[in-house]
Amino acid sequence: MFFPTLRNKLTEEGEILPNQIKLPSKQPTLRWVFQLMEGVSLVTLSDFLIDN
């Protein structure tokens, strides 16, 4: 089974994330992604609510 990685998905979608010094990064570490998401407690995906 193939599970796309975050980096592959970012590349496919042409998306970037800021790195620790606010420069664009196409290959963020998973640890950095988790730090970017710190404090997010409510996410809505296609009318499906995910609450912390």
The whole-model pTM stands at 0.62
| Tokens standing for residue 24 | 């664009």
Q: Which amino acid is at 23?
A: L
Q: Decide: helix, strand or coil at residue 29.
A: coil
Q: What is the pLDDT of residues 12-46, one digit of tens each?
A: 999 999 999 999 998 898 899 889 989 888 777 77
